[in-house]
Structures are given as C-alpha cells and as structure tokens.
Amino acid sequence: MAPRRAASSVPEGYKENLSKGKMLRFEDSLPQLPVPSLEETGRRYLKSVHAVVSEAEYERTKNAVEAFIRPGGQGEPLQKRLLARAADPKIKNWLAEWWNQAAYLGYRDPVIPYVSYFYSYRDDRERRNPAKRAAAITTAALEFKAQVDDGSLEPEYLRKEPQAMSSYQYMFNCCRIPAEGADFPRKYAAAENQHIVVVRKNQFFKVPFVVDGQQLNVSELEKQFERIYEIAQPAPPVGVLTVADRDHWTAARKKLVAADAANELALQDIESAGFVICLDDAKPVTLEERAQQYWHGDGSNRWFDKPLQFIVNDNGTAGFMGEHSMMDGTPTHRLNDHVNNLIFNKKIDLSPKSVRSQLADPKPINFKLNDESNEAIDFAAQYHRKQIASHELVVQAYQGYGKGLIKKFKCSPDAFVQMTIQLAYFKMYGKNRPTYESASTRKYAEGRTETTRSVSDESVAFCRAHQDHTTPREEVVKLFRAALAQHTKYTQEASAGHGVDRHLFGLKKLLQPGEKLPEIYQDPAFAYSSSWYLSTSQLSSEYFNGYGWSQVIDDGFGIAYMINENSLNFNIVCKRLGAQRMSHYLSEAATELRDLLMPDLVAQPEKPKL
C-alpha cells in the first residue's frame, strides 16, 4: 500500500495547488505518461517474447519487429501520431481514455466473473452480530468518504512521489451505467445524495446517513440495520441484471425504465448512493466459502455496477466487492485497509450512543416489474449460475513464512512470490507461459496500470535448473537471484511507463482506415505473448484473509496474492483446469524456495548483541 505523508512538504519537482484541496493539490504538476521510443519497446518486447517461443518462432518475430522499428519502417508514422497525441495540451494522458474504453467500459462480458474483484476481511471478534458489524463498517467508511468529499484526504506517495488521485472522484456517489457500445460512469453530487443503499433478501432500502443536519452515529446506524433485518421481505433479484453481459443489461435497463416511472426513481436512488451495504443471508466459514460469497454469492443481493459494496453475512463475517472500470485496486485497497484499521485499532469511537427517537424507518426502494423484466431477470440469473459453475476457486493460505523471512533472504517480496508462481506453473505443466502482473503507473497524470511480463529468459532458466536434480544448489540460487533482478527491473520500467503492452496498444489504435496492419501485429507471437495464462496481482493487508478475481483466458489462471508479515495467501481461479493442483504446487514451490535459500541464511554470522 502506498504510504501517505504526515507533513505536507512539497516533493522536489512538484507544485502545490491548494485551491484544488489537499487530495488533488499535486495533480497539475504530475508528469505525463511518456511514450517510449520504438527501439526501446522493440528491444524489450523481443526479450520478453524470446522466453516463451521457439527459436524458429523468435526469428519470425525478430524480422517483424525490425521491419516495424527501423527508420522509415511500419511503426514510424504511428509513433509520430502517438507523440503528437501525447503533446496535445487537451489530453492529460495519451492512454487513459483509450484504455478505460477498451479494457473496461467497452468490454461487454459480465463484470462477474471477469472484471470485478473482492477483499475478504479478518473476523471482528467484538462484532459477531451482523447489524453491529455493518454499523461499524459504515461508520468507518463514512469517515473516509468525508475526507474524499471535502478533498482533505492526503495523497498517496510511492518512493516520495505523489500518486494520481483523480480516480477517487469515482469512489463514492457514483455508478457504472450500461449503454450500447460502451458503458459510462455517472457521478452524483455528494451534498445532494447523503444516503447509502442497503440490500437484504434482494430488497433495496434507502438509508439517509444525515438526518436534520446530523450524521447518524454508530448506534443509530445499527438500529437502521436491525430494522432492515426485521422488515425485509424476499423480492425479485433485480440486482442480478447487473451481473449479466453488458448488452443484456443495457436492453433490460431500458425495458425496466419503460415499464413504470417508479423504476427510474428506484434506479436513481441506487446509482446515486454513497455506497452499498449487502446484508447476505449466508454464513461462510472456510476461506473458499468467504471468497465465493464476496466474489459472486448467488449473483443476487448486489448492485454490481456500484464501485463500492460492503458485504456482511449472518454470522458477522464481512468483505468487499469492487467494480473496476474507473478505479484500480489501489484506491479501494486504501479505503478498505483504512476502514479496518480504524475498527481493529480503535481509532474511531464505536461505543454505544443515544439513538434519536424521531428517526424514520429505512425506506424500501420498490421496482414495478412486468413480465418482460421478470424474464430478463430469470435469464440473467440462469446465465450467472452457468458462468460460475464453469469456474473453480481455491485459496492457498500458506503459513510457512511471509515477508519477514523473504526480506531476511535479501529478496524483493513481490519478485520472490512471482517466481514462486512461475515455479508452481512449471511444476504443473513442464513449461512457462506468458504471465501478466499489474504495475501501477499512478505517478503520472491519470495513470492506471502497465503490464509487467513476468516470464523472462532468467525465470525460465531458474525453473528448469530447480527441477533438474543434477543442478548444484548454489547454481540454482544464482539463477533464482538473476530471475528476481530481471523481474524487479521490468517492474520498475513498467511503472515508469516503459513497458511494451500499452505502447504497442497505443500505436495500433492510431492505424487509419485502409492502412495495412503491420507484421508485428499479425505475427502469432504477438497474440500468444499477450495471452495471459497467468494473470497475477498483489494487494496485501494484515486486515484481509482473502483477495481475488477471475482468470482472463479460458486456458489460464487468475492468481491474486497477498504477502503478509508471516504468511502468504493465494486466491486461485480457473475454468476447471485444476485449481486444487495449482494450490498444491504453489505450497510446494514456496516451501522448496525457503529450503533453497535457508542454508545461506543460517551460514551468516550472527550480528553481535548490543
């Protein structure tokens, strides 16, 4: 998690604009996302491809790249157009609009399972009662919301550099709206929409969190949740429409609005809410049960287009579901980490308070459904069940060690776990295949992510050597550390806007009608090397016991991981490829890497005690 500064000192090279508020004060001086040179991208791309294709395939790719990057070659006019776009004063980030459309808003498959992500919270032993747990989470979330709304939240920093905070505007009082061709975000004024939405048994309720100019205290919120538990009646699962493919939901939303004028008001109440609290009638216990509940549940009792959904189960377990289109995981990670930090470390007053007698009951949000809308709901529910049935999810909660020991090995924790994943995949398949890891580019204006290509010649050499029992341990260690160094180097370059995937994407976007598609894009290695057989990402918190999302191709795995002080956590999702077996190999790989490096650690002289 990117740290925040206690003091408001101005980092070198940045200017403050306090008229924008504390949170956005550096936005105007954030550097722009760079455009790498063709030569640089060509060189880096070839190195990444070499690790995953045969020598004959590599020769073909090399010829295509050389034709693309040479002076007067196929890439030169595209590069000039991209540089012109990057220099356009009206465009803050040459990639942002394109990427938001291509990767998220224009993507028509269901957000669950393919886009959204979840966090699973540690248990709160003081709040086993779900109404009490929901009230604490809501109170803490409202404290964070107040800082975002008034702009007083301190920006995030990474290596002392301010990070882009513009995506925070899409966190509260916002909703993704389905539309033909591409969805769009709709933002509502916070001051005019001082309510949250609570859903129980598929029935939605509008709960104002400010009454007579005063915010509801934790006991008043608890009373509101208790009333919802008492009065909620099973309702048709209108929310399941938001988990259908986007074209079905677009058409169904139009029919919903046309069916009755009340439906448009109901939609507006939900879409304008600060956030959603889902009170589920489930009692998950195991990590897999929790992960499945927060990731998808039964597809109902949700509004998956909302950026923020906090989920509380009947046994007091809780978690979070995030919609991905306008925000990456780092802002919601900060929100959720903050919420739990306030609660677990008693940094917010959650003691019982007096409850105002004049508070009204929560107001049901009622939809008027006709046969056409009911059919759309039934279709969406069946489609969702079929989607989820084709997937499997396994959690590997590895307790052998964590970040503490990895640092004693003098290794980057993230690179270490990436090589653990590579080794596990090699054990399972006898080869390495293209792997995606998310790298943040939020140091740039409107920055989001770039791809770290985790497979390198160095990582492949390490995996092969490790699995060859004739290779001396010292040689395996040497190859392992070379693989770590290469991974760290690529990650740093990607975070600095010098990966290959977004640059090649941008160049291709600038092809004009009638222009021939350059050979680099027709080369089979282009599609293969960006087919993510492993889609991976790390977000870590001592307050979470799970975090995850789906694979991105049918033949691949989605592996979300957390690196905590004394444990590792892997959430493994795939389409019936053997998630349990992958979990086994991850555990085996983690243990073998510890055993590989431990002799060198043990051999180090002890530091004298002072």
Supply the residues annotated as catalytic: 324
Give dist(CA 328, CA 147) in Å, integer. 19
Give dist(CA 284, CA 315) in Å, integer. 8
Q: Report cis status (omega within 30 of 0) of the bond before 178.
A: no
Give dist(CA 401, CA 89) in Å, integer. 49
Give me the count of residues in the chain.
610
Give dist(CA 419, CA 415) in Å, integer. 6
Q: How far is CA 318 from the centre of its chain?
A: 18
Residue position matching structure tokens 């109170």: 139
- In this structure, which amino acid lies at residue 182? A
Residue 56 CB contacts under 8 Å (≥ 6 apart), including other chains: none
534 SS3 class: strand
Give dist(CA 507, CA 7) in Å, integer. 41
Q: Measured between alpha carbons, how far is residue 307 from residues 166, 277, 335 in Å?
A: 15, 12, 12
- In this structure, which amino acid lies at residue 446? E
CB 256 within 8 A of CB 287: no
- Encoded tokens for 90: 């009206």
Residue position matching structure tokens 């259908």: 244
Q: Measured between alpha carbons, how far is residue 283 from residues 22, 287, 318, 357, 403 in Å?
A: 41, 12, 10, 32, 31
Give dist(CA 173, CA 410) in Å, integer. 44
- The interaxial angle of helices 457-467 and 473-495, nearest 10 deg, is 150
- Encoded tokens for 484: 């770590």
Neighbouring-strand partners of residue 378: none
φ, ψ of residue 65 to 5 degrees: the values are -65, -45
CB 502 within 8 A of CB 459: no
